[in-house]
Amino acid sequence: MPWQEYKEEGFSAADDRDGDLTDQVERTVLEDRICYQVTDKAGNQTVIYRDIPFDTGYKEATGKDFPEIDIDDPNADGKIVYLTFDDGPGPYTQELLDTLDRYGVQVTFFVTGSFPAYEDMIKKEDAAGNSIGIHTLTHDFERIYSDDKAFWKDIDQMQAIVQKQTGHTTNLMRFAGGSSNTISANYTPGIMTLLTEQAAQKGFQYFDWNISSGDGGTEGDMEMVITRITSQLPNQDTCVVLCHDTKEYTVKAMKYLIPWLLDHGYSIRPLQLDSEPAHHGVQN
C-alpha cells in the first residue's frame, strides 16, 4: 500500500520509497463520495473512496453549522424509523424522491388531491417502493367530518386516484388531523369514534404518529425539523414520524436528516399494514 493515510480536509499521501505524494493526489468529488487517486513512480495506482459526511452542504445551503444533536439513544442501532409525508404530492415531492433515491430508502406518502397537477407523482412514489396511504382528497375538515358518508366519499375518490396512478388500491390511511383531532367535534360529535370503527370494518389500517417534525403550522425551518425529530427518537421503540412534503424546508431537511439517521444506525422503512400504527386514541 503506497498510500498510508488520507483525510479530508487536508489529506496526505506517502509512499515508503517515493516519500510524500500528497501533491500528486487527484481528488474528485462524486455525488456521494470523494475519490482520491495517486500513482507512485513505479506506476502503482491507489484509489480510495471516502463517503461524504452526512452534513456536507448544510452550511453552504443555510449559512449555519449543522444543528448540534445531543441525544443519547442506546437503541439507535437497527431502530426502525418510518418517515411519513402528508398532504402531497406537490411541487417539492420530486426533490424528496431524488433524496430518497440517492440514499436508497423508502418512506410513506399519505396522499391528497390538493395539487392535481402533481397527481402523477403518486405513480413515481409507488414505483420507487414507497408505501402509499390515503390521507384525504380535499383536506376540508368541515366537509369530510360533516358525516360518515361524506368522509368515505372523499376517501373513495382519493382511492380511485391511487388506483389510477399505481394500478392498485391501498389499505393504509391517515385521518386529516389524526385520529385524535377534536376539530371534527365542531361538525359532528363522536364522528372519529364512528370512522375509526368503520375503517377497521373496511379493512383499512389507520396510522397516527409518535414523533412530529413540527412542520404542520405556518412557521418552521430545516433546523427545527432536524432537531425536533432527532430529539424525540430516544423516546420511541419504533418511530412513526409526521412530516409534510408540501413544506419546502422539510423536503430540504431530509437531505441532511436521512444520511444522519443512516449514519447513526437507524433503519428507515415504509409502513406496511402490520406496522406500528402509533394510534393516539380517539377523543371525539
**Which lies closer to Zn ion via its Cβ, residue 18 or residue 119?**
119
User: Which of 53/216 has CB closer to Zn ion?
Assistant: 216
User: Measured from the CB atom, is 173 or 261 closer to Zn ion?
Assistant: 173
Q: Kind of pairing, strands 33-39 and 108-112?
A: unpaired
Binders in 148-167 for Zn ion, by CB under 5 A:
none
Q: Which is nearer to Zn ion, 86 or 125 (CB)?
A: 86
C-beta of 128: minimal distance to Zn ion in Å?
A: 22
Residue 195 to residue 180: CA distance in whole angstroms: 12
Q: Is 87 in the site for Zn ion (CB under 5 A)?
A: yes
Q: In whole angstroms, how close is the CB of 208 to Zn ion at the nearest point? A: 12
Distance, in Å, from the CA atom of 51 to the CA atom of 64, rounded to the nearest integer, reads 22
Instruction: Please answer whether residues 241 and 83 qualify as being in contact, where contact means their C-beta atoms are separated by less than 8 angstroms.
Output: yes
Count of chain residues binding Zn ion (CB under 5 A): 2
One of 86, 126, 154, 245 touching Zn ion (CB under 5 A): 86
From the centroid of its chain, how far is CA 202? 28
The site map against Zn ion for 88-117 (x = CB under 5 A) is ------------------------------
Closer to Zn ion at the Cβ: 139 or 264? Answer: 139
Q: Which residues contact 222 (CB under 8 A, 6 or more apart)?
A: 62, 249, 250, 252, 253, 256
Q: To the nearest whole angstrom, how small is the minimum distance from the Cβ of residue 244 to Zn ion?
A: 7
Residue in 248, 238, 242, 244 with CA at minimum distance from that of residue 228: 242
Residue 104 φ/ψ region, left for φ over 0, alpha for ψ in the -120 to 50 degree band, beta for the rest:
left
Min. distance of Cβ 262 from Zn ion in angstroms?
Answer: 27
Determine contact, residues 236/210, Cβ cutoff 8 Å.
yes
* Closest residue to Zn ion in the complex (CB): 86
Q: Who contacts 19 (Cβ-Cβ below 8 Å, separation ≥6)?
A: none
- Binding mask of the shown chain, residues 33 to 72, with x at each position contacting Zn ion by CB under 5 A: ----------------------------------------
Residues at the interface with Zn ion (CB under 5 A): 86-87
